[in-house]
Amino acid sequence: MKRDVVLVPGLWMPAAAMALLSFRLQSRGYHVDVFPYRGRSPYETNIEALARFSQGKACFVGHSLGGVLILDMLNRHPEIQPDAVVLLGAPVRGCLAGRRFGRARLGRWMMGACRALWDERTARWARSTPLGVVAGTLPIGLARTFGGLPGPNDGVVCVEETTVDGMTGRALVRRGHSMLIVSRQVVGLVERLLASGRFA
C-alpha cells in the first residue's frame, strides 16, 4: 500500500522545484503531493492552508521555510497525525542569513510576511512520531554575500539553526542549501526515515 507524502518547498520556490525529489519518492512506491504556497503571504494563512491540504496524509517532507511551516502547522494541529516528518535545511530556530538579508529594503520586500520567522526562536517536537532533520555542511549560498556564517552551515542555514528539541535524529550531508532537494544521498535518508523512523 502506497503512503501519501506531502512535500513543501522553500521560500521563493515553486512547486516544480520539488519535482526531482517527488519523482524519486514516487519511484520508491510513495504517492506524492506538493503543497504550493506564496512565501510572502501571511504566515498564518499558509499554516491553515497546509493543515487543510494535509488531511489524511501520512508523511511530510519540507525544505527550508517549507520545513518550518510543517513543524509549526503540526504543533498547532494535533488532530493531524503523521507517520513521519523530515525537515531539510529548515531554519526552525531562526536564520542569521535571513536577518542580515532583511536589513535591506529589497530583502524586506522579498521576505514579506515571513520575515519575523528569521528571528531567534525555540523549536520543539513533543510527539512520539519520528521527526528527522537533514542539515547541509557545504557553505555555498546566499550568506557568502553577507560575510559568511559561524559554524557548520549550508551557505544559508547554520546547522545549529536546524535543531528541534525532541527530534528523532539529525543527519549531516556535504551539500549546499539548494542542493538538498536534488541530492540522491538526501532522498536515501528521507526514504529511510519515512520507512523505519530512523536515519541509521
Domains in the chain and their CATH numbers?
4-196 (3.40.50.1820)
**Each residue of 122-174: pLDDT tens digit?**
999 999 999 999 999 999 877 667 778 999 999 999 999 999 999 999 999 99
Percentage of residues in the chain having pLDDT higher than 70: 98
What is the SS3 assignment for the chain? Answer: CCCEEEEECCCCCCHHHHHHHHHHHHHCCCEEEECCCCCCCCHHHHHHHHHHHCCCCCEEEEECHHHHHHHHHHHHCCCCCCCEEEEECCCECECHHHHHHCCCHHHHHHHHHHHHHHCCCCCECCCCCCEEEEEECCCCCHHHHHCCCCCCECCCCEHHHHCCECCCEEEEECCCCHHHHCCHHHHHHHHHHHHHCCCC
The residue-averaged pLDDT of 34-62 equals 93
pLDDT score of 1 more than 60 = no
